Amino acid sequence: DTAVSQTPKYLVTQMGNDKSIKCEQNLGHDTMYWYKQDSKKFLKIMFSYNNKELIINETVPNRFSPKSPDKAHLNLHINSLELGDSAVYFCASSGTDRLWGYTFGSGTRLTVV
């Protein structure tokens, strides 16, 4: 029973298209995140939601729009995809005790051609 699941796992699309990535967690966590991992493996936070409320919005192009319909789901919609958006996008969730850390999904590898 996957704790944090993301779909799709792979996404290949052309420049200019719009795409969405979905994330669901069954851990009962209140906080969910989107991280971007670039080709050099660097992990950078994009957004964070706590109980459906946006609490972190890093310097991300406004082509990226997160949506959290409930605290178990966090989706990421990307408009007008660019070559530089190619990366692995990770969803994660965390509970109230930081010592338990974040639980990450397996990632969505987005390739823009």
Partner 1 sequence: QQQVKQSPQSLIVQKGGISIINCAYENTAFDYFPWYQQFPGKGPALLIAIRPDVSEKKEGRFTISFNKSAKQFSLHIMDSQPGDSATYFCAANRGATNKLIFGTGTLLAVQP
Which residues of the shown chain bind partner 1 in the complex (CB under 8 A)?
4, 31, 40-45, 48, 55-56, 90, 92, 94, 98-107
Rounded (10°) CA dihedral 28, 29, 32, 35: -100
Nearer to partner 1, 21 or 92 (CB): 92
Structure tokens at 5: 């699941």
Q: Smallest gap, in angstroms, from Cβ of residue 80 to partner 1?
A: 27
Q: Smallest gap, in angstroms, from Cβ of residue 15 to partner 1?
A: 25
Nearer to partner 1, 12 or 56 (CB): 56
Nearer to partner 1, 5 or 13 (CB): 5
The 3-state DSSP class for residue 41 equals coil
Beta carbons of 27 and 3 less than 8 angstroms apart: yes
Q: What is the Cβ-side half-sphere exposure of residue 42, based on CA atoms within 13 angstroms? A: 4
